[in-house]
Amino acid sequence: MMFSRVLRGVFGFVAMVLVAGVALGFATPQYAQETGESCVVCHPNKPPELGPAGEYFKEKGTLEGYGELPEKKGEAGGRCTVCHAQLVPNPTPRDLSGAPAEPNHRFELKHGGGRFWCLTCHSPANRDMLKLSNGTQIPFSSAPQLCGQCHGTIYRDWQERIHGRWVGEIDSPRPGAICTDCHNPHDPEFKPIEPEKPPEKPPEPKTIPYYPIMTLIVLATSLALAVYAAWR
């Protein structure tokens, strides 16, 4: 009797483990399973609650393009702090090649000749903001202020409407583009562009030469006048 109870208990425990294993297998997030990335990318707070990245993946089936979306007004956590709000900032410069590639870490930093890293430009207190060298936080829309700290002459030309694109009236222009609209902030140098083919020379017009015709007309007129004068 005791042996049968023990046996039933063992079988019951094994069955529970198997059921739990199957349930966990089915519950494995698709994105994490396919990429090996951390669950915090889609669940910044706690599963099963989805953050903005998780909602995007649920709708699109991929996070490709999520990092390029403009920030939605009133969206909790913006973009960067969706994940970084859960992490304690570490201000020590270090290699971050092992950071999650998604949703917007898909780049190789080629800026500053190896002297820059993330927190050179991004605020450690709020990743949805940039920071100046004095620690002042500025929004991404004010990126020219940050860029101008190193690229002073270009920033001056931009302010004078020599560099970049401006729109509006002559006496009240406004920027049509800021630095990051044209330059990748993580790899700002423009890549070589293959030149377009030169314009082709238009074909020669198919017309009768002008001067030979006039010569013939003059000669014919002169001959006619000579014959007329001789006949008279």
The whole-number pLDDT of residue 21 equals: 41
**Higher pLDDT pick, 11 / 33:** 33
User: Rounded to an integer, what distance in angstroms lies between the CA atom of residue 189 and that of residue 197?
Assistant: 24
Range with top average pLDDT, 6-15, 26-35, 144-153, 176-185? 144-153
Using the predicted structure, report yes or no on whether residue 105 has a pLDDT greater than 90. no
Percent share of the chain, pLDDT over 90: 14
Non-local CB neighbours of 26 within 8 Å, separated by 6+ positions: none
The whole-number pLDDT of residue 122 equals: 92
The whole-number pLDDT of residue 169 equals: 79
**Higher pLDDT pick, 130 / 193:** 130
Return mean pLDDT, the chain.
Answer: 74
User: Rounded to an integer, what distance in angstroms lies between the CA atom of residue 8 and that of residue 125?
Assistant: 56
Q: How many separate helices (H) and strands (E) can be counted in the chain?
A: 9, 4
pTM above 0.85, yes or no: no
Question: CB 188: neighbour CB atoms within 10 A?
Answer: 15
Band (pLDDT 50/70/90 cuts) for residue 15 is very low
The whole-number pLDDT of residue 103 equals: 56
**Higher pLDDT pick, 15 / 227:** 227
User: Rounded to an integer, what distance in angstroms lies between the CA atom of residue 185 and that of residue 49?
Assistant: 32
Using the predicted structure, report yes or no on whether residue 22 has a pLDDT greater than 50. no
What would the pLDDT profile of 169-183 be if each residue is shown by its tens digit?
777 788 888 998 889
Using the predicted structure, report yes or no on whether residue 77 has a pLDDT greater than 70. no
Block residue for tokens 């729109």: 167
Instruction: Compute the average pLDDT of residues 71-100.
Output: 66
Q: Give the Cα-Cα-Cα angle 64, 82, 35 (nearest 5 degrees).
A: 40
SS3 22: helix
Left if phi > 0, otherwise alpha if psi is -120 to 50, otherwise beta: which for 143? alpha
Range with top average pLDDT, 127-131, 168-172, 216-220? 127-131
The whole-number pLDDT of residue 76 equals: 38
User: Rounded to an integer, what distance in angstroms lies between the CA atom of residue 179 and that of residue 39?
Assistant: 34
Band (pLDDT 50/70/90 cuts) for residue 10 is very low
**Is there a contact between 100 and 41 (Cβ–Cβ < 8 Å)?**
yes
Using the predicted structure, report yes or no on whether residue 52 has a pLDDT greater than 60. yes
